[in-house]
Every structure is written in structure tokens, then in C-alpha cells.
Structure 1
Amino acid sequence: MTQSSALFSAALALLRQTQHGVLATQSLVLPGYPHASWLPLVLDEAGRIVLVMSRLAEHTQNVLLDEKVSFLVHEPSATLSGARLTILGDLQPVPDDPLLLARLARQNPQLASYLAMADFSVWRLWPRRARYIAGFGKMGWIEGDEWETAAQLSLADESALIQSTLLPEGCELIGVDWAGCDLRRNGQLERHILHCDRFDLAALRAAIDAVIRA
């Protein structure tokens, strides 16, 4: 694995255990200055950040003028030795996508409920570059095309796996990707790393079943 690929894998692992972050937009009120906003997030099938934003919000007004943004996520500890990731990219509206909306609703039902209000809509951050830092000497730049070329489990395959998985009471399977699965068990979110060959759906299903039975 190259250094760039290793950095991307670590950055993606951080993203997959994160539920919120800080969006920095170009201020409309004070041009030239960044405007930072705390926002909840979910990820699409490629690990790109997906947001639900109100048109009335200051950050949305800024993005409508200039889609160039950055987004910061970090480990819960938020210390200088903890991992953090700043993604620079273009934040754009998402066309209607029922499978993505279903993923959003599984991952964050409260966030999805805002879409019932007319001024809320879904946006996706298309990475251009990202800066990953995991402590002294453990840092580097990641190119945006890493998200495009990485192995992805399609939303259709994810949906089929979730719908066909038998779950015990109090357990929800809310997300699946080639690196792991996300459960909501008795109201608590759990991220489980899976070790199986990519592009082998049968092996992925078996790994998920093993996690659920544990």
C-alpha cells in the first residue's frame, strides 16, 4: 500500500466513525473571511460527506454564492495527538436519489426529518484535496480522486444486504461498506470493522452475520 493510499484509508476510517464536523464557507456578509458552522453529517457510498442544510442558514447563503468550502472532522478526544481531517472541495446540491435518502434516514433519522420542511435540502461535498493529521510526523495530503477510485459498495447492494439480514430485537443495521458495518443496538451506534475480500458479497454477508451473532 502506498503512503497516499494508507493516508486515505486512515482518513476514511475517521470519517466513518464521525457524526458531525465544522463547515467553513466564504462569508457573504464579510467577504474574504471564513464563516465556520457546526453541522451533523452522514456519508454516501464513497465516504463523501453529505449534509442537510436550510436555505435560511448563513452557511447555505454563503455556499449559494461560492461552493468552495472546507470541512473539519476529528476524533472525539480532540487533542493534538488525535486524528483530524480537513477536506477542501466543492459543496453542491444533490439531485433526488431515493437510495441515498434512505441511507441518510437510517444513519440519522432526525436529520432526515428536516427534509419534510421546504427550505431544507441535501448537499454533497466533492473533495479536491484533504489534509490528514494523526499526531507528530503522521500527516499528509490526500488527492480528491482517492474517493473516486476507492472500492465502493453500491447503494443498491447495501440496501439489498440490509433488507435481507435477519436482526435480533433492538438491533438495526444502518450502514454497510467494504470496510465495515454500522449498527444501532439498543439506541447506541456501533461501528464494526469487517475483514473480507472486496467485491465478494457472500463473504460480506457472512461477516455481517458474524458481527450480529456476537
Structure 2
Amino acid sequence: MLWPEVMALIRRSRMLALATHSAHMPGYPHVSWLPTVADEAGRPLVMISRLAEHTQNILQDHKVSVLLHDDDMALEKARLTILGDLQPVAPDELLAARLARYNPQLAACLDMSDFSVWRLWPRRARLIAGFGRMGWVEGDEWESAAALTLAQEAELIAASVIGAGELLGVDLAGCDIRLGEQIRRFEFATICHDATGVAQALKHIARDITA
């Protein structure tokens, strides 16, 4: 089953390549390199300026493709292409807080009038999980998969103590912790079913980090 690997790659990715339809050269793709933060359901978020070339392209055609990959682009490493619709989103307090935890510089752009947050609504995704391991995942997976709400995530973060680390985000499969200058992804031993299970899994992670 590819879905867990798809979500794991999205949640540990900090950058993505965004391909839009060029407005100045119709028929040609325009590719940009942007920081990204996943939302609570594992949909990529990007912050873009109204002045950017890719923004002008998106305003004419919101159909895009993004590429996410592990830092080491060896052939045996995972990479994911998502085809979908990029749409603006007005972040509420909880979503803005998630952006700020993962990327304070991005969050600071919210105070600038020409920047806005856009969310990718996946239609289909192609995962290359390694040599000979590949397949398609349908966009419906994002809508039907169980996920924590932003409110549940905020409660878990407030109630958790991770030693010297800072808990940035948590989901049913794992958590992201800032240790020094590095953000590290920690996968749980098993995927949790609810917030109670996540709370227990976080205790094991915290114990392992402080051991």
C-alpha cells in the first residue's frame, strides 16, 4: 500500500518544485522552487507573492503539478509528483500557527499585503518509492483518510513535553520535532487511530529523545 509512504514523504518535505502553465509562453510549463508546509490532512501549502511569475500563471490556470523528494536524489530514494488544483486559502488562527511553527519566515509573509497562502487539492499522485516500486494514488485518498483536526493537534502540542526539542506538528502516523536548527520527522511504531493513541505514542518518542 503506497498511501502511508505518500503521506510520510509529504510530511517530511520542506521544499517542492511547482510546475504551472506559462502565461507568457503558452504551452510551456514554468517550474519554481518553493518552501512548503503540509496542512493537517497532508495537503501541501505554499506561500506565494502576487508579483511572482508562477502566481500570474496560476491566476490564469489553477491546474498545477508539484514534485517532492527526499534530500538525497539517488534513484533508490522516494519522489512524489502530485497533479492537482492550487487554490487560495484564508488561514485561520490554527493553520497560521502551524505555518509559524514550521517556517517562521513564511508566516511573517502573512503580514505582507502581496503574499497569500495557497493549498494544493490533489487529483492524482505518482509515487516512485524506490527502484521498481511505484504506483498511482487517487486524490480521493486525501478526503477519505483519517486525520487529526488542527484543534486536536494544538491540544496535543500544548500537553506534550519533548525535552530540549520543540514539537512542531503531529498526526496519526508521526510527529515533527525541531532539534537545534534541524526539523526531524519521527514515525510512530504503528499508525494511531485517534488523538488518545497519538498522545501515548508521543510519550514514547519523548522518552527515546531524552534517553
| 1:167–1:198 Cα change, 3 Å | closer
1:179, 1:167 → 2: CA distance? Answer: 17
8 A Cα contact 1:67 1:90, kept in partner? yes
Work out whether 1:80 is the aligned partner of 2:61: no
Partner of 1:96: 91
Partner of 2:134: 139
| 1:42–1:96 Cα change, 3 Å | closer
1:182, 1:66 → 2: CA distance? Answer: 33
Can you give the 5+ residue segments of structure 2 that lack an aligned partner in the other structure? none
Task: Quote the RMSD (CA, aligned, Å).
Answer: 1.3
What TM-score do you get using the length of structure 1 for normalisation?
0.93
Task: State how 1:51-62 maps to structure 2 within 5 Å.
Answer: 51-62=46-57
Helix, strand or coil at the partner of 2:2? helix
8 A Cα contact 2:20 2:58, kept in partner? yes
Helix, strand or coil at the partner of 1:111? helix
Work out whether 1:109 is the aligned partner of 2:104: yes
The count of residues paired between Structure 1 and Structure 2 equals 208
Work out whether 1:203 is the aligned partner of 2:192: no
8 A Cα contact 1:196 1:203, kept in partner? no
Work out whether 1:41 is the aligned partner of 2:33: no
8 A Cα contact 2:153 2:170, kept in partner? yes
1:104, 1:208 → 2: CA distance? Answer: 21
2:31, 2:90 → 1: CA distance? Answer: 25
Amino acid of the residue matched to residue 178 of structure 1? L
1:24, 1:85 → 2: CA distance? Answer: 13
8 A Cα contact 1:196 1:204, kept in partner? no
Helix, strand or coil at the partner of 1:45? coil
8 A Cα contact 1:85 1:130, kept in partner? yes
The percent of aligned pairs where both chains have the same amino acid is 56
